[in-house]
Each structure stands twice: as C-alpha cells, then as structure tokens.
Structure 1
C-alpha cells in the first residue's frame, strides 16, 4: 500500500524521494485511508517502501490504483481549489454507507462526490454506489477515464462508460487534462455513440458547468446521420447479421437482408431501448409489425413490447418504454402507423427494394421529413 493518512493528511510514497524515507520511519501515527486502522511504514533492501496493516484489514475497498486514477484525483482536486471550493477531501471515508469517495467536496451548501472510474464493475454495483451517496444527500458525479476513440461521425466509448447511459457522460484524460462531455446520446451499439460532444481543457471549464444539469439541444444534422445510415448499409450490416438469427428469419419472407432494411429503420433515439444496436432493435420493431399484422390491423404498445421481449428475446433497458414510444412516433411521422386512443393502427407497409440505391434515395427523403418534425 503506497498511501496512508497522518493527522488527516494523505501521505503518498510515490511523491517522496528515497532520502526522505528515514523521516517516515520515526513516525507511528499512520492510518489506512480505506478502513482507518493503524498501519506501519516499511522500507528494506528487498522490497520497495510501503505501508502495511498491523492486523488483517477487512475492508473491501483496497485495490490497485492506476497512474491515471491517481493523477486524475489530484488534478481534479487542484481544479476544485482553483474554483474556490474550500472544503475538499480526497479518499474521504463515509462509514455509514461503507464507502470511500475519491473526492468529496461541499459547494454552495450542497455536498458532492467525484467518483473516478476506470475498471469495469457490475451495473448493479454501479447503481448501488450512486444510491448510497444519495441516501446521505450527496450528489455523485461520475468521471470516467480510459480510452475513447473518435470516428468520422461517432465515438467509441470504453466499456466502463456504458454503465451510465441515461444521462450526461463525462470523460477525463489526465495526461492531456481534457474533458469530453457527451450529451443527448444515441447509442448505435454497446460502445458506439453519436450525439452532442464537447471537448474542453480542464482549466477552461467551470465548476458551475460541471454541476449544471441543463444542456442545450443541438440541431439535428441530416448529413451526419445519412452518413451513419449509409455506413451501416454498406459496411456494418454484414457483421451484425452473424449474431442476429431472429432478425434474419424475419427478413427472409420479404426477400431482404440487413443492408436492405426499410428506410424507416435506423433513426436516432436518445437513450437505449434494448441491449441491441440501434439498427437491429428498430429492425425487429418494424419487421415484427409487418410480419404479424395486415394493413389496418391494430395493436397496443404492451402487445408489441411483449412480442419483442418473449418471442425475439430482446433484453430491455431502463429506457425501453420511453424509447419505444419515441420510435413509434417516428413511424407515425413516416406514415407506417397511426396512433389512436390506447392503440396503434398499421396503415401502410414500408417500401422494399431489391437493390441498395433506391434505399439511399429514400433515406434522404425520410431524413428531410425527420428534420421538419424536429
């Protein structure tokens, strides 16, 4: 263990030169920042300098801290200092919920925690940690570190960032000291997103902006989205169909493949409806309606949702109901269905083509309607 506390101050051996280790040996009031138990300083010829518990530690919070995680904590603490925050604590222990906050601070009479996350954890544990802080009236702000990759129109996020899908995602690169803010995200897959993305240097970012929950809506860019649709039709559809036998079976009676999905498939919906790529789950919705109903038949939202879950085994997310309603509204705009009181009417089958070129044209036509509605 390379860190300990002494008189409520953090002692980090990675910041201390070898010649200063002799001064640490003479002190004895070191404590573990995780469990609060007494620890002793050790330094010999065979092992590097470290702190060790006098007795066995039963805390489950010990973990190897990466350089990125360690650097992020102290850069963010310094940033909070520069923002005028007076009460800041690193590795702050909260015994009532058995949690140790990476950074705890108070600002304008409110309590906050910055949790810096790089390693993968279970979704249930992630949500439990958030709720535990909220029980104490503490707002938790997740800061994700690790690799992200910018593509032409989208971003590939690291696997940890997908834990927080329902709201703004904040990524921090401690080596360039750059924040990347993701708002109004459309999840194309479990890692790939498109939405409003802003990159800003940490020193140019204000604490009020970090704490603000108000984010402006960016105007829809049709050209960007048509590029994403064309990339799916021409490149990505082949890789998707290897794992989507259910959707392939739905495509077969209509003599189409994934690249020839109707143009009403593949439009941006914020949040994540199902644990499937956007083009795939929307394909299931459209082809399920086309397969199960004749024109002017009616169906309910719960009926359609039940079929997608039970028959086609689509795993729902917390945003399923909201996103599915939003997509059915799009299908109404595109003239496929009509919403009545308590149910939907299937009024017109989307056009199907045997070649790709007509779809590219129709994608553009529906896109112009989509822009008008937005």
Structure 2
C-alpha cells in the first residue's frame, strides 16, 4: 500500500506559496482563500521570488492550489527539484498544522548564508527547526549537504518523507529503499506525511529483514491529533512480534534459495562448505537486533557469519574475544559479504554496536557468559537442527525464552 502516487505525477514546476511585492511586502498564499481579493491584488502588484528576485506570477486556477510560478519557464537557482502538486498541498497542510499547534511557522524562508530555502521554519523551546517535506527522490550526497548546511546555521532539520514513498507490504512489513533510510531518525523511526490522505504515518520499531524489507509498526494519525513532539520523539516502543518476524525470516530463506544474488550465492556456498542447510540453521541466527538497522545485509546472513567465524567451532568453556568477533565481522565487510547501510542520522554510530548487542543477547540466552568488557565464555554448545520439525521446535523454544527474558528485564523488546 502506498499513498499519493497519482497526484505526485502532476508536476508543479518551480512553484512557490510565498512571494514579495516590489515594495518588499511578503505575500503568503497558504493563508489566502478569497479569490476575488487575490485577483484584485494581482492586477495591482508585481511579485518577486524571495530567493532569486526573478519575476513570478500569481496562479489562481480552480484545479490547483493557489501558488506563484516563475515566468516563462525560468527556474530558480535555489530550487533543488521541481515541486509536484502533491508536495505543494502537503507543504501548505503542514504549515497550517503548525499554526494550529500555536507556533509561528514561516513558509519558504530563504537563508542567504547557506543559499537554501526550507519548506517551513519555526521555533520551538528556543530552537530553530527547518522542515523539509521531501516527495521526490534526491541523491544521498545532496541530502547530507542540505542537512549539514542547516546544522551549520543552528537549525534542527526535520525531514518528513512524502507519503507517496510509503510502501507497506503487510501488517508488520514495509519496503524501504536506500533513499527512504536517509530519513531514519536516531529515535528509530521514519516520519511520512500524505497530503492526499491528510495523514502522518510513523514507521517505528524498524528491524531490517533484508536489504529492502523491514519489520515495523505503523501509526496513522491526523494532523489535529499530532503534537510536534510526536514527530521529534515517538511514544514508547512496541515489542517485536516474534511470530511475525519468524514468518518474514522464512520468506527471506525461500527467496534467497530461489532467486539469490551473487553475494547471497557466496553465502550459500559458505554454508554448504560448512555442511549447513539455510533452512536448518540454529535459531540464534536471525534474531532481531535494533542497532542492526545500520547493516544492510539480512540478519540471517550477518549473524550466520558471526556464528560460523566466532562460535560454531569453539569448545565449551573457551574464551571468545570481542575484538576477534568484530575483526572477523569487518573482514566480511571488506570482502563485501556484509554491507553497511548509509544512514546520515547514525553517521556517528559504530557499526560494531550491532555485533556487541548480538553477543549481549546470546549472553542473556545463556549461550555465552560475559567475563569482562571484552571477553565471553562459551557456556552452551549450539545445536544444529537436523530436521525441519526440530528447527521449528528449537525456534519456538528460543523465541519463548526471548519473550520471558524481555518481560523479566522489563525491556519490552520481544513478544511471542
């Protein structure tokens, strides 16, 4: 399910909701709805683009949102992409939403210091926010450049992805491209807004299951029921539904064996070389780890490599050094057997955190025992299931244990 696809096909050119008169008076069409007054005003005044100072004309059609457009097809040098009607509508709706929330938002305020024009700016608790409502795809480098520029001027960038990019594939499944992951927040969610449905969509508790699919929870909410704080930090997390996760993991196995990429083919050869069957891996391979969102490779694959490289051939009571586990992990990365995902908000995060968190989960399961900040002991020899039934029973037992541990530790991480 995706939103706004048909509307997004109608292009809007270099369109604006704000302009200035020759006398320097700012005109905002987001607040205007009296067409007769606007027609009269259009006859009396000339309008300029606030950024490039080129002439713009006021468009007051019946089919499209009122807006300004550059004359004769000229383009504004400070516009990064042509705006669709879907985008213009959404920008107006977000502006009016912020006004109703009691803020004083400003549309399309040009900042000459960084030569950028955020969709909306507003101040909350003494902090400046720059809202970017992004409905068309842009390069990751441009996304990072714009974000860095905002931060340099003490803005807090608030990127909101257009609902036309929202692709729900099931109750707890979403398709996410590399572009979509640019919008992933440190608070572990992606915010969408659909101007056609007039709704915010929050994809939270995101756990990638493959390079372009993830487990997630979804919240659909009208603007009037959405405080700004909800976009800055969503409410408490919902535990991962392990039964749903298990089904997704099984689909990954099936697809990988049927339609594997060259990289997945190398992984399968590695399994066969170690006399392992992708359908009969121990259930500790493929556990949802929140911090692994930064790893593009499926958890089924990267955790299998950790198991093979650092656990499988170890003897009971043998010491496992964290540095060795992480070293083996990065060797796989250097060989492109494990890929890292580009997420600007996590640029300061260490990729090895996911590996550390995985070892911590194995410790909670009693498989490892932590003896220091950098060492573990192997306490239980991990069994390899011999039949599908045995694998399913082991998986059910493991997930029940994860659920119990989660409740005991009051972490609310997993649920069966």
Question: TM range, normalised to the smaller chain?
Answer: 0.7 to 0.9
2:136 aligned residue (108, 116, 119)? 119
Query: Quick check: 1:226–1:364 contact (8 Å CA) kept in 2?
Result: no
- Call closer, same or farther: CA 1:120–1:287 in 2, change over 3 Å: farther
Aligned partner of residue 79 in structure 1, secondary structure:
helix
- Call closer, same or farther: CA 1:157–1:174 in 2, change over 3 Å: farther
Distance in 2 separating the partners of 1:281 and 1:89: 46
Distance in 2 separating the partners of 1:183 and 1:157: 13
Alignment pair present for 1:315 and 2:339: yes
Alignment pair present for 1:369 and 2:401: yes
Aligned partner of residue 160 in structure 1, secondary structure:
helix
Distance in 1 separating the partners of 2:214 and 2:94: 26
Give structure 2 stretches of 5+ with no counterpart: 1-13, 60-67, 342-348, 407-416
What do the CA deviations read for 1:14-73 (whole angstroms, capped 9, x no partner)? x998xx889747643x2224x332325499xxxxx952389x878352421112211110
Distance in 2 separating the partners of 1:40 and 1:72: 21
Query: Quick check: 1:75–1:174 contact (8 Å CA) kept in 2?
Result: yes
Q: Counterpart in 2 of 1:109?
A: 126
Distance in 2 separating the partners of 1:230 and 1:204: 37
- Call closer, same or farther: CA 1:40–1:172 in 2, change over 3 Å: closer
Q: Counterpart in 1 of 2:295?
A: 274
- Call closer, same or farther: CA 1:42–1:233 in 2, change over 3 Å: closer
- Call closer, same or farther: CA 1:205–1:106 in 2, change over 3 Å: same
Deviation at 1:273, TM superposition (A): 4.2
Q: Counterpart in 2 of 1:73?
A: 91
Deviation at 1:78, TM superposition (A): 1.3
1:5 aligned residue (12, 15, 19)? 19
Deviation at 1:80, TM superposition (A): 1.4
Alignment pair present for 1:216 and 2:240: no
Distance in 2 separating the partners of 1:62 and 1:228: 38
Deviation at 1:233, TM superposition (A): 4.2
Alignment pair present for 1:330 and 2:361: yes
Aligned partner of residue 59 in structure 1, secondary structure:
coil
Aligned residues: 362
Distance in 2 separating the partners of 1:234 and 1:322: 29
- Call closer, same or farther: CA 1:275–1:104 in 2, change over 3 Å: same
Aligned partner of residue 94 in structure 1, secondary structure:
coil
Query: Quick check: 2:70–2:76 contact (8 Å CA) kept in 1?
Result: no
- Call closer, same or farther: CA 1:240–1:337 in 2, change over 3 Å: farther
- Call closer, same or farther: CA 1:279–1:37 in 2, change over 3 Å: same
Q: Counterpart in 1 of 2:326?
A: 305
Aligned partner of residue 283 in structure 2, secondary structure:
coil
Deviation at 1:343, TM superposition (A): 1.9
Alignment pair present for 1:133 and 2:150: yes
Query: Quick check: 1:186–1:195 contact (8 Å CA) kept in 2?
Result: yes
Alignment pair present for 1:227 and 2:254: no
Query: Quick check: 1:89–1:104 contact (8 Å CA) kept in 2?
Result: yes
Deviation at 1:234, TM superposition (A): 4.8
1:39 aligned residue (55, 60, 75)? 55
Q: Counterpart in 2 of 1:339?
A: 370
Aligned partner of residue 191 in structure 2, secondary structure:
strand
Q: Counterpart in 1 of 2:172?
A: 153
Deviation at 1:79, TM superposition (A): 1.2
Distance in 1 separating the partners of 2:58 and 2:358: 62
Q: Counterpart in 1 of 2:10?
A: none
Query: Quick check: 2:280–2:387 contact (8 Å CA) kept in 1?
Result: yes
TM-score, with structure 1 as normaliser? 0.83
What do the CA deviations read for 1:333-354 (whole angstroms, capped 9, x no partner)? 3344332222233444422234
1:359 aligned residue (377, 382, 391)? 391
CA RMSD after TM alignment: 3.3
- Call closer, same or farther: CA 1:257–1:67 in 2, change over 3 Å: farther
- Call closer, same or farther: CA 1:127–1:293 in 2, change over 3 Å: farther
Query: Quick check: 2:15–2:70 contact (8 Å CA) kept in 1?
Result: yes
Q: Counterpart in 2 of 1:46?
A: none
Aligned partner of residue 137 in structure 2, secondary structure:
coil
Deviation at 1:368, TM superposition (A): 1.0
Alignment pair present for 1:261 and 2:281: yes
What do the CA deviations read for 1:311-362 (whole angstroms, capped 9, x no partner)? 4432345452222111111222334433222223344442223432211111
1:21-100 equivalence runs, <5 A: 24=42, 27-28=45-46, 30-33=47-50, 35-39=51-55, 41=57, 50-52=69-71, 59-85=77-103, 87-100=104-117
